């Protein structure tokens, strides 16, 4: 089938006809490349038993492709001006719902109740608004266990950080927070030239495959997430220096000894399991300074 939405002339015409422009404050950069859209759809591996959740459908270029491949599409768009346009652009489809809400305000588990039992899988597919990439991903990972896979376009630098492995420059608190719950990997890079307007960064599509059973269990997850943020507070400092603001030196020294880790270790040298061990150790033995 010929797709109509994700190309330059359609996007230009739609914006023109509706007297609209891409809004910077909502991170609006519209995809104009059908080839990239096909590659996103391929990465998402959808079928008619799958409910696709989309964040920020924009003018509907990805939504159109999701309607073709998934059983149903639930899309959240913050910009009220785009709602009538989306409904018009997608009128040939009957398997979607556009919700005019800020994704950061959505109670996703509540919204998903009405689809319970109707679909075997729930997959999130989105070209994310870059100004809130991290809160969107961390918020959803924390708030729901119902979404089994995430396929997302994000800023290239953020993609590298999310997929970063220990002992590399990209590895940080975000790699660990996400790696705790999911296997994160990059699907492909995307040049800035495939968007209208062209952003001043390149992008990449990444996937998160959620672990059915966690690989390691942090007994106190709040403490675990706080610990990783504190550990990477200042990258050039040792772990001890970063943590000594929050915990006593004695506790940190004992913890490093317990796990046979050198005193001058830096956070980027430690894998996720070690941070989980640390947080479990602190929740059992330690307390705040």
Q: Which residues of the chain form contacts with ligand SAM (CB under 6 A)? A: 26-31, 55-58, 61-62, 76-79, 102-104, 127, 129, 132
Q: Is 85 exposed, middle or buried (0-12, 13-18, 19+ CB in 10 A)?
A: buried
Task: Give 78 or 159: the residue with its C-beta nearer to ligand SAM.
Answer: 78
Query: Residues with Cβ < 8 Å from 277, sequence gap 6 or more?
Result: 216, 259
Task: Give 159 or 176: the residue with its C-beta nearer to ligand SAM.
Answer: 159
CB of 245 to ligand SAM, least distance (A): 33
Dist CA 279 CA 227 (whole Å): 7
Task: Give 106 or 223: the residue with its C-beta nearer to ligand SAM.
Answer: 106
Question: In the bound complex, which residue of the shown chain has the CB atom lying closest to ligand SAM?
Answer: 56
CB of 193 to ligand SAM, least distance (A): 14
- Enter the tokens of residue 246: 């929050």
**Residues linked to residue 190 through DSSP beta bridges, in sequence order:** 203
**Residues linked to residue 28 through DSSP beta bridges, in sequence order:** none
Are 40 and 63 in contact by the 8 Å Cβ rule? The answer is no
Residue 27 falls in which region: left (phi positive, over 0), alpha (psi -120 to 50) or beta: left
CB of 82 to ligand SAM, least distance (A): 6
What b/e string do you get for 65-79 counting C-beta neighbours within 10 Å, with b at 16 or more? bbbebbbbbbbbbbb
* Residue indicated by tokens 């800023």: 155
Task: Give 103 or 208: the residue with its C-beta nearer to ligand SAM.
Answer: 103
Q: Is the dihedral of CA 68, 75, 132, 8 positive or negative?
A: positive
CB of 111 to ligand SAM, least distance (A): 13
**Residues linked to residue 75 through DSSP beta bridges, in sequence order:** 54, 98
Task: Give 64 or 268: the residue with its C-beta nearer to ligand SAM.
Answer: 64
* Residue indicated by tokens 């989105």: 126
Task: Give 78 or 141: the residue with its C-beta nearer to ligand SAM.
Answer: 78
Task: Give 72 or 180: the residue with its C-beta nearer to ligand SAM.
Answer: 72
CB of 201 to ligand SAM, least distance (A): 12
CB of 210 to ligand SAM, least distance (A): 21
Residue 101: Cβ within 10 Å count: 13
Task: Give 58 or 71: the residue with its C-beta nearer to ligand SAM.
Answer: 58
Question: HEC string of 87-103?
Answer: HHHCCCCCCEEEECCCH
CB of 163 to ligand SAM, least distance (A): 20
CB of 177 to ligand SAM, least distance (A): 20
């Amino acid at each position: 089938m010929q797709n109509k939405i994700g190309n330059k002339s359609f996007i230009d015409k739609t914006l023109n006809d509706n007297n609209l422009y891409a809004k910077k404050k909502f991170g609006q950069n519209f995809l104009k490349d059908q080839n990239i859209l096909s590659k996103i759809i391929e990465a998402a591996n959808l079928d008619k038993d799958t409910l696709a959740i989309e964040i920020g459908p924009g003018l509907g270029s990805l939504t159109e492709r999701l309607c073709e491949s998934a059983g149903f599409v639930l899309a959240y768009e913050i910009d009220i001006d785009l709602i009538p346009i989306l409904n018009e652009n997608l009128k040939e489809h009957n398997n979607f719902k556009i919700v005019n809400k800020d994704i950061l305000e959505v109670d996703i588990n509540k919204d998903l109740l009405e689809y319970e039992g109707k679909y075997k899988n729930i997959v999130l597919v989105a070209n994310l608004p870059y100004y809130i990439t991290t809160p969107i991903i961390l918020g959803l990972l924390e708030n729901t266990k119902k979404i089994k896979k995430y396929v997302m376009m994000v800023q290239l630098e953020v993609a590298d950080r999310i997929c970063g492995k220990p002992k590399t420059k990209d590895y940080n608190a975000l790699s660990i927070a996400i790696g705790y719950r999911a296997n994160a990997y990059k699907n492909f890079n995307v040049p800035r030239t495939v968007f209208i307007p062209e952003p001043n960064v390149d992008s990449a599509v990444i996937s998160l495959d959620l672990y059915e059973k966690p690989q390691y269990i942090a007994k106190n997850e709040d403490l675990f997430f706080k610990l990783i943020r504190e550990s990477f507070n200042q990258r050039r400092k040792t772990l001890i220096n970063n943590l000594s603001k929050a915990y006593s030196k004695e506790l940190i020294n004992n913890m490093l000894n317990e796990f046979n880790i050198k005193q001058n270790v830096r956070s980027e040298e430690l894998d996720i399991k070690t941070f989980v061990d640390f947080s479990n150790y602190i929740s059992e033995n330690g307390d705040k300074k």
